[in-house]
Amino acid sequence: LRTRTRSQERRLRGQGERQHALEMERRRLHNAVQELKGNIRVFCRVRPLLAAEEGTQKGMEHLRFPPQDNKTLSHIGRERKGDVKYDFSFDRVFPPSASQEEVFEEISMLVQVMEPPTPPF
């Protein structure tokens, strides 16, 4: 029984070491993918108007979200010479109608959960 227990403990220790090595490899590969994509992401999320703002503001007519392009936000500004259109580019633009789930789905691959390594037995 002792021999079998020691054998199981060695196997368990080996599995823990293997799990740790695989986790380190996963992190290394994740970081490599992030570097290839570029480490900085810029997202734009336009929130809906609050109830108090709806009465004091005209709405969001000055903002345009092109349906075919989820990376651009256009702003129509009022200038002395008339309306001027400004286009802004982001890694992703979320309109006021976007849900929390949509935003999380987009960034979930960028978020890493740091779990402490499992101690060997």
Write out the chain's pLDDT in tens, 121 residues.
899 999 999 999 999 999 999 999 998 998 888 787 777 788 999 988 888 777 776 667 788 888 888 899 988 887 667 778 888 999 899 998 899 999 898 888 777 665 666 666 5
Q: Shortest CA distance to 111 belongs to which of 48, 65, 43? A: 43
List the domain boundaries for the chain.
Answer: 1-40, 42-101
Q: CB count, 10 Å around CB of 46?
A: 15
The single-letter DSSP state of residue 114 is: -
